[in-house]
């Protein structure tokens, strides 16, 4: 079901022609290099539970000093499922105000329905997003087969005013976009990449291989835990929760990989795995927010039902940083 075969389908052909008319190629070229490190930034809340835009800006002032390629706003670490639609857009708007001109702003716009995703994507584009990151719909798991995912992403990419990045995060969604479907989608001129957070490195390698004919399609590792390995098989960058607190180190790992200094890269990668696991798979956003407090950022409390870490869990997170020389 590669893109070429779809020209049998009139609707699709029309779509493709239409893309041309809307100059997708130029928007794609603007983003032709996704390469680099992107922290998926958390959303700070005030003690009353509302979004603390001032703290967000102060965090950005710190992060702007790092060599990040840009930011992911409202990836999983942004607690986006806990924000209202207007908060989701407003956060993008506020981040846009505070980031340096050359940094990419990628906004997580995925919703369960195709139409809501399109609407949110364009609202975020209007608020300043350079591209959108679209998570797989996942509530009706048994029905999210290749066909449904394909139609969803084609419709979003077709109607979205900025480029689309696929977002595969089976740990949260229970869904893996089939590799063949990723390859099919990679031919769409407005789909420029995938962020894969599953950690299955054979899958990441095969995605790079199967999408190599789509020059503008790039692969981002979804976690600092398998960043080096992802570069080794062809990823160009990473969306790394850990970069929120260890920005220098994660950017250094990026540089070492690009420079082919694999031995040093390996030593650094090894030290990052355990603290990365602590602020992602093990303790999630509450773990990340706890760590942010130690690193001079505004972490604070997550929104309910996420609970702040208890003392025992906090010690476990802290230990993983200490044992690797980061605290």
- Residues 6 or more apart whose Cβ sits within 8 Å of residue 97: 57
Name the active-site residue from 94, 195, 289, 314.
Answer: 195
Instruction: Identify which of residues 214 and 230 has a Cβ nearer to a copy of itself in the complex.
Output: 230
154/238 Cα distance (integer angstroms): 24
Shortest approach of a copy of itself to residue 218 CB, angstroms? Answer: 15
Q: What angle do CA 61, 67, 69 make, to 5 degrees?
A: 95
| R_g of the chain computed on alpha carbons | 19
Instruction: Identify which of residues 97 and 112 has a Cβ nearer to a copy of itself in the complex.
Output: 112
Measured CA distances, 244 to 12, 183, 253, 279, 288 (Å): 41, 31, 14, 10, 8
> Could you check whether the bond before residue 305 is cis, i.e. omega within 30 degrees of 0?
yes
Instruction: Identify which of residues 16 and 229 has a Cβ nearer to a copy of itself in the complex.
Output: 229
Instruction: Identify which of residues 75 and 193 has a Cβ nearer to a copy of itself in the complex.
Output: 75
Shortest approach of a copy of itself to residue 86 CB, angstroms? Answer: 11
CB 92 within 8 A of CB 124: yes
Q: How many residues does the chain have?
A: 327
Query: 195 an active-site residue?
Result: yes
Footprint of a copy of itself (CB under 8 A): 49, 76, 81-84, 112-116, 137, 139-144, 147-149, 151-152, 155, 171-172, 174, 199-202, 205-206, 208-209, 212, 223, 225-226, 228-230, 232-234, 260, 262, 266, 269-271, 273-274, 276-277, 281-286, 303-307
- Residues 6 or more apart whose Cβ sits within 8 Å of residue 124: 88, 89, 92, 107, 109, 132
214/216 Cα distance (integer angstroms): 6
Q: At what angle do helices 284-294 and 311-322 cross, to 10 degrees?
A: 60
Shortest approach of a copy of itself to residue 156 CB, angstroms? Answer: 10
Instruction: Identify which of residues 98 and 114 has a Cβ nearer to a copy of itself in the complex.
Output: 114
Shortest approach of a copy of itself to residue 225 CB, angstroms? Answer: 4
- Residues 6 or more apart whose Cβ sits within 8 Å of residue 36: 67, 68, 69, 70, 236, 237, 254
Instruction: Identify which of residues 58 and 234 has a Cβ nearer to a copy of itself in the complex.
Output: 234
Shortest approach of a copy of itself to residue 131 CB, angstroms? Answer: 21
Shortest approach of a copy of itself to residue 309 CB, angstroms? Answer: 10
Residues involved in catalysis: 195
């Amino acid at each position: 079901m590669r893109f070429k075969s779809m020209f049998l389908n009139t609707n699709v052909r029309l779509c493709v022609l239409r893309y041309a008319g809307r100059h997708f190629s130029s928007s794609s070229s603007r983003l032709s290099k996704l390469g680099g490190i992107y922290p998926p930034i958390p959303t700070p809340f005030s003690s009353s539970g509302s979004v603390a835009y001032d703290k967000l800006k102060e965090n950005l002032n710190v992060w702007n000093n790092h060599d990040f390629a840009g930011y992911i706003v409202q990836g999983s670490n942004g607690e986006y499922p806990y924000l209202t639609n207007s908060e989701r857009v407003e956060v993008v708007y506020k981040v846009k105000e505070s980031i340096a001109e050359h940094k990419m702003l990628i906004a997580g716009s995925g919703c369960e329905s195709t139409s809501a995703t399109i609407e949110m994507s364009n609202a975020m584009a209007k608020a300043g997003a350079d591209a959108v990151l679209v998570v797989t719909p996942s509530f009706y798991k048994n029905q999210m087969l290749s066909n449904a995912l394909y139609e969803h992403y084609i419709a979003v990419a077709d109607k979205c005013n900025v480029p689309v990045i696929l977002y595969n995060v089976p740990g949260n969604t229970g869904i893996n976009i089939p590799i063949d479907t990723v390859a099919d989608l990679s031919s769409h001129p407005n789909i420029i990449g995938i962020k894969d957070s599953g950690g299955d490195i054979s899958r990441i390698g095969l995605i790079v291989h199967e999408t190599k004919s789509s020059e503008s399609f790039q692969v981002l590792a979804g976690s600092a835990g398998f960043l080096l390995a992802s570069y080794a098989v062809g990823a160009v960058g990473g969306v790394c929760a850990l970069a929120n607190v260890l920005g220098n180190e994660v950017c250094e790992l990026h540089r070492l990989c690009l420079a082919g200094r694999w031995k040093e890269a390996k030593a650094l990668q090894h030290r990052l795995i355990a603290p990365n696991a602590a602020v992602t798979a093990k303790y999630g956003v509450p773990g990340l927010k706890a760590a942010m407090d130690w690193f001079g950022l505004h972490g604070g409390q997550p929104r309910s039902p996420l609970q702040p870490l208890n003392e025992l869990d906090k010690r476990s997170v802290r230990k993983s940083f200490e044992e690797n020389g980061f605290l």
